């Protein structure tokens, strides 16, 4: 049955070469742990991507219950956590996933650094990676405010004060983030929009660029 559907689509759209291009792609021996155990260090980019996918998926389910305003935010998270079937698991995945993502990202960056993979001709992908790094930190930071509990509120106050202390432009960016004189209704609306629309869109674009560049250049050579 599935085969018949596949063949029907393939006959019309010729989809086999598309997934074959990924499935048959060969990687060199020095990144294959079956040949050299130390090749496991090359897994961290893929693991980071895997965690990013978990974050996107669990985040989509959190968004079904989360209410981004100062009256309801905390209560909506509590309701999800305590009443909704599987709610605690989905929230837990997103909560712990955020930390695991940063750890994987760090390990991946260290791998790229210590194998010298940022060097010519891969400088551009290193720069794309640095942008990804800031986007990922931004996601962690804006997500932290959303439960609207004491920890979230005061962490955000401190963050905005740090931003404000940047010379020349700091106060403008701080105001842009805070959305007014205090950390309040506007701030949570902005952090929510940044967390679920702006930064994920930026991340997907950057990851697309990251992967296209890797595919064009191939993985860097052995040490
Ligand atoms: C969400 C974040 C990221 C994901 C999902 C990701 C994913 C990947 C993947 C799957 C590879 C293939 C090789 C490997 O897995 O080690 C790779 C390679 C690479 N990444 Fe990332 N990456 C991310 C962030 C970064 C960051 C923060 C940097 C540097 C600042 C970076 C720089 C590079 C470079 C230069 C390569 C080419 C390495 C080579 O050819 O040996 N990436 N990335």
CA–CA separation, 161 and 183 (whole Å): 11
CA distances from 202 to 44, 134, 135, 175, 207 (A): 21, 11, 7, 22, 9
The confidence score (pLDDT) of residue 223 equals 81
Q: Tell me: the pLDDT tens digits for 42-76?
A: 999 999 999 999 999 999 999 999 999 999 999 99
Instruction: Give yes or no for residue 217 having a pLDDT over 90.
Output: yes
Q: Which residue among 122, 132, 210, 222 is best mutated to probe the pocket of ligand 1, counting the most ligand atoms within 8 A of its Cβ?
A: 210
Contact 148, 155 (CB under 8 A): no
Contact 32, 222 (CB under 8 A): no
Helix axes 123-145, 199-217, angle to 10 degrees: 160
| Range 43-217 has CATH code 1.20.120.160 | no
CA distances from 204 to 109, 196, 219 (A): 18, 12, 21
Instruction: Give yes or no for residue 216 having a pLDDT over 90.
Output: yes
Ligand 1 contacts (CB < 6 A) are: 42, 44-46, 48-49, 52, 105, 108-109, 111-112, 117-118, 122, 125-126, 129-130, 132-133, 136, 207, 210, 214, 219-220
Measured from the Cα of 125, ligand 1's closest atom is 35
Closest CA to 37 of 29, 27, 45: 29
The confidence score (pLDDT) of residue 192 equals 98
Tally the C-alpha atoms within 13 A of residue 169's C-alpha that lie toward its C-beta.
Answer: 2
Q: Tell me: the pLDDT tens digits for 151-181?
A: 999 999 999 999 999 999 999 999 999 999 9
The confidence score (pLDDT) of residue 165 equals 97
Q: Tell me: the pLDDT tens digits for 180-206?
A: 999 999 999 999 999 999 999 999 999
The confidence score (pLDDT) of residue 136 equals 98
CA–CA separation, 74 and 71 (whole Å): 8
- Domain edges within the chain: 43-217
Average pLDDT over residues 133-154: 97
Instruction: Give yes or no for residue 90 having a pLDDT over 90.
Output: yes
Average pLDDT over residues 87-100: 98
Closest CA to 127 of 206, 198, 203, 64: 206
Considering only the C-alpha atoms of the chain, give the largest distance between any 2 of them, rounded to a whole number of Å: 65
Contact 101, 55 (CB under 8 A): yes
In this prediction the pTM is: 0.94
Average pLDDT over residues 73-89: 98
């Amino acid at each position: 049955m599935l085969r018949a559907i596949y063949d029907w689509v393939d006959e019309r759209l010729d989809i086999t070469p598309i997934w074959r291009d990924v499935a048959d792609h060969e990687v060199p021996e020095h990144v294959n742990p079956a040949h050299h155990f130390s090749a496991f260090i090359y897994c961290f980019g893929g693991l980071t991507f895997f965690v990013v996918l978990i974050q996107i998926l669990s985040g989509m389910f959190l968004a079904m219950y989360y209410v981004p305003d100062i009256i309801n935010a905390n209560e909506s998270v509590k309701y999800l956590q305590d009443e909704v079937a599987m709610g605690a698991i989905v929230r837990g995945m997103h909560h712990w996933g955020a930390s695991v993502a940063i750890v994987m990202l760090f390990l991946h960056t260290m791998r790229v650094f210590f194998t010298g993979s940022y060097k010519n001709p891969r400088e551009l992908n290193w720069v794309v990676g640095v942008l990804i790094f800031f986007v990922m930190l931004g996601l962690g930071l804006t997500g932290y405010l959303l439960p609207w509990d004491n920890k979230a509120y005061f962490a955000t106050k401190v963050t905005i004060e740090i931003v404000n202390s940047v010379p020349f432009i700091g106060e403008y960016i701080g105001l842009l983030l805070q959305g007014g004189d205090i950390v309040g209704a506007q701030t949570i609306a902005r952090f929510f929009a940044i967390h679920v629309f702006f930064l994920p869109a930026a991340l997907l674009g950057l990851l697309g660029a990251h992967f296209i560049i890797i595919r064009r250049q191939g993985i860097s050579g052995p040490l």
